[in-house]
Amino acid sequence: TQLLEQSPQFLSIQEGENLTVYCNSSSVFSSLQWYRQEPGEGPVLLVTVVTGGEVKKLKRLTFQFGDARKDSSLHITAAQPGDTGLYLCAGRIYNQGGKLIFGQGTELSVKP
């Protein structure tokens, strides 16, 4: 069974702080996605990274794909209470068609 280890599982910070969430695996991914999920709703796609070493920015969010395409990180600068939610990474396994595996998720709480 392929695993995508996401850490930390829980994160509670004050408004204005920076944070980083990590996803790591021994598997190589052809692409990796990051999602944000609110309670009672389906995940919302934030970004897809496909090239080893790729860095994408979405306002205060920075996503990086590892050079070997086995890991990724999400960095949030100056977190806001509106960033509160469940963050999920998901990887498409190289050479396994449409199979996707998700990390366990990171519950982020940003307090004003």
Site for other proteins in 14-43 (CB under 8 A): 30-31, 33, 40-43
Q: How far is the CB of 112 from other proteins (least distance, A)?
A: 26
Nearer to other proteins, 93 or 110 (CB): 93
Strand spans (E) along the chain: 5-7, 10-14, 19-24, 29-37, 44-49, 55-58, 61-65, 71-76, 85-93, 100-102, 106-111
Told to check if 6 binds other proteins by CB under 8 A, we report yes
Peptide bond into 112 cis (omega under 30): no
Told to check if 48 binds other proteins by CB under 8 A, we report yes
According to DSSP, the residues that pair with 27 across neighbouring strands are: none
Which stretches of the chain bind other proteins, using CB under 8 A?
A: 1-2, 6, 9, 30-31, 33, 40-45, 48, 50, 88, 90, 92, 97-105
